[in-house]
C-alpha cells in the first residue's frame, strides 16, 4: 500500500461496489451505504447488480456497514452515490448532499474526500464542500482537501471494468492531486490522467455522455426520417458504415443513469450562466421521444394487419435500461408501455433480469413470468437480453396468438430473412 491511505467508499451501487472491492483486494476498506438490505446482501456474499462476482466479493477485505461512524477509520473517502434528475429534468443533488453530510460528520484533519458522482462543473467545490465544512466544523483547504475522479462504469460490461479504464483524477491543489493519483494508480492498471482542475474533471465526465447522447440522437432522427421514406435505417447504416471514418452509432432507447441524465447537468449549469443550449437539448428531446414513436408504430402495424387496437394485447420483452443488466433506473421502455396504455392497449411485461419488487415500486409494473404470459397480437422485443436473442424467432412467435401477428424489434437483433410469413415485422 504505497500511498499509505486508509480507504472508505460511500455508496455501494453499480459504481461504488467495484471500487470498494478493487481496493479491498489489497487493503482493508470501509464500505458504507444507507441501504441496510444492500449491506446485508453484500455481507452474505452476493451482489444483485451482477457487477461483482461472488468470488471477487469473498476475496476483498471490505467492512460493509450502515454505521457512518465507521468512516472515521479512513482518511481517504470516496463518494459514489447516484446523481439523478427530478421530474422536471433538473439535477437532484439530494443523495450527494446527504452523503457529504455523512462523510463530513466523520472527517478529521488531513483527510481527503474524492467525489466520483456525475455532477456539473463546479458542484464539488460549490455544493459539496460547504456541506462537508458544516458537518465537520473543519475548513476545506487547511484542515481537509477534496478531489474529483469521475466514474466510468458501464453496467454489464466485462471488458471495460473499473481497473481497466483510464482514471481521470483531480485535486484542489497539487499535493492533493498527487495523493489522489497515487491512490487510484495502486489499483487501476490502465493508469490515470491528471486533469488540470476539479472543474475540468467534472466537465470531462459530463461531456463524455453528452457526446454519445447527441450521436444517438442523430441516428434516432435519421430513423424518424427514413421510416417516413420506407427505408430500413439499419440497412442505411450498414452501407454508410463501409466508409472508414463513419461512426458506428445506432438508433435506440436512451435510458439509464448516465447518457439520458448527464446532459441535463451540463444544460442546468449553462442556464445558470444565462446560456441556453440548443444542440444538446434538441438531442435530448429526440431521444426522450423515441418511446412515443415506437408505440405509434405498434398501433399503425396492428391496424395494417386489420387488428382491433382496443382488443389487442401487447407483450413487451425487457424492461431494464439495457441488455443483460438488472438496472431499471431511467429505463425508457416504460415510455413505450405508458404510451400503449394511453392508446387503450393492454400490455404485459416480461423481464428475466429485472427485480419484480423494484419494477412494482418504481413503475407500478407487475412483471409476468414466462409461463404466465398470455398469447398476444404483438410482441415487442425491447431489450436484447441474451435469453431473448438466443431464442430468436421461435421464442418471439411462440408468444403470439397462433404464431402470427406483429413483431416490433427495437434493437434489430432478429434476422429479417428468417421472418415467418405470418408476421408483420417493424424495427427501429
Active site amino acids: 258
Please check whether residue 201 is in contact with residue 119, taking contact to mean a CB–CB distance below 8 angstroms: no
- Cα–Cα distance measured from residue 185 to residue 162, given in angstroms and rounded to the nearest whole number: 12
- Angstrom distance (rounded) from CA 374 to CA 311: 13
Spatial contact of 115 and 86, defined as CB atoms under 8 Å apart: no
Looking up cell 474529483 gives 148
- For residues 72 and 325, what is the distance between their CA atoms, to the nearest angstrom? 34
Q: Are 263 and 209 in contact (CB under 8 A)?
A: yes
Q: For residue 379, list its beta bridge partners.
A: 315, 407
Contact 297, 290 (CB under 8 A): no
Report d(CA 344, CA 375) in Å as an integer.
18
- Please tell me the distance from the alpha carbon of residue 237 to that of residue 251, in angstroms, as a whole number: 10
Closest CA to 184 of 116, 247, 127: 116
Dist. CA 55–CA 77, nearest whole Å? 25
Amino acid at each position: 500500500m504505497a500511498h499509505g491511505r486508509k480507504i472508505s467508499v460511500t455508496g455501494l451501487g453499480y459504481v461504488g461496489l467495484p471500487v470498494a472491492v478493487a481496493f479491498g483486494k489489497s487493503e482493508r476498506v470501509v464500505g458504507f451505504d444507507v441501504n441496510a438490505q444492500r449491506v446485508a446482501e453484500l455481507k452474505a456474499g452476493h451482489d444483485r447488480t451482477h457487477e461483482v462476482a461472488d468470488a471477487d466479493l469473498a476475496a476483498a477485505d471490505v467492512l460493509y456497514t450502515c454505521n457512518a461512524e465507521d468512516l472515521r477509520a479512513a482518511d481517504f473517502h470516496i463518494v459514489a452515490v447516484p446523481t439523478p434528475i427530478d421530474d422536471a429534468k433538473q439535477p437532484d443533488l439530494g443523495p450527494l448532499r446527504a452523503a457529504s453530510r455523512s462523510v463530513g460528520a466523520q472527517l478529521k484533519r488531513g483527510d481527503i474526500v474524492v467525489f466520483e458522482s456525475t455532477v456539473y462543473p463546479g458542484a464539488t467545490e460549490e455544493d459539496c464542500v460547504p456541506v462537508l465544512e458544516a458537518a465537520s466544523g473543519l475548513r476545506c483547504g487547511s484542515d481537509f482537501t477534496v478531489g474529483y475522479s469521475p466514474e466510468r462504469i458501464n453496467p454489464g460490461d466485462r471488458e471495460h471494468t473499473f481497473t481497466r479504464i483510464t482514471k481521470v483524477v483531480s485535486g484542489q491543489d497539487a499535493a492533493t492531486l498527487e495523493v489522489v493519483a497515487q491512490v487510484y494508480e495502486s489499483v487501476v492498471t490502465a493508469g490515470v490522467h491528471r486533469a488540470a482542475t476539479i472543474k475540468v474533471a467534472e466537465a470531462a465526465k459530463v461531456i463524455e455522455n453528452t457526446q454519445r447522447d447527441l450521436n444517438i440522437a442523430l441516428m434516432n432522427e435519421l430513423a424518424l426520417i427514413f421510416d417516413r421514406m420506407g427505408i430500413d435505417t439499419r440497412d442505411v447504416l450498414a452501407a454508410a458504415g463501409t466508409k472508414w471514418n463513419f461512426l458506428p452509432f445506432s438508433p435506440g432507447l436512451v435510458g439509464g443513469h448516465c447518457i439520458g441524465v448527464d446532459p441535463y447537468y451540463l444544460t442546468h449549469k449553462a442556464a445558470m450562466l444565462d446560456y441556453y443550449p440548443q444542440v444538446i437539448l434538441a438531442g435530448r428531446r429526440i431521444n426522450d421521444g423515441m418511446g412515443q414513436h415506437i408505440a405509434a408504430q405498434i398501433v399503425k402495424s396492428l391496424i395494417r394487419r386489420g387488428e382491433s387496437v382496443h382488443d389487442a394485447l401487447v407483450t413487451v420483452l425487457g424492461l431494464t435500461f439495457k441488455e443483460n443488466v438488472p438496472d431499471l433506473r431511467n429505463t425508457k421502455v416504460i415510455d413505450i408501455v405508458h404510451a400503449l396504455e394511453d392508446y387503450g392497449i393492454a400490455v404485459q411485461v416480461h423481464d428475466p433480469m429485472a427485480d419484480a419488487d423494484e419494477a412494482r415500486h418504481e413503475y407500478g409494473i407487475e412483471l409476468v413470468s414466462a409461463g404466465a404470459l398470455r398469447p398476444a397480437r404483438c410482441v415487442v422485443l425491447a431489450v436484447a437480453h441474451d435469453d431473448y436473442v438466443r431464442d430468436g424467432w421461435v421464442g418471439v412467435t411462440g408468444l403470439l396468438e397462433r404464431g402470427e401477428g406483429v413483431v416490433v424489434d427495437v434493437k434489430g437483433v432478429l434476422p429479417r430473412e428468417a421472418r415467418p410469413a405470418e408476421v408483420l415485422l417493424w424495427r427501429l
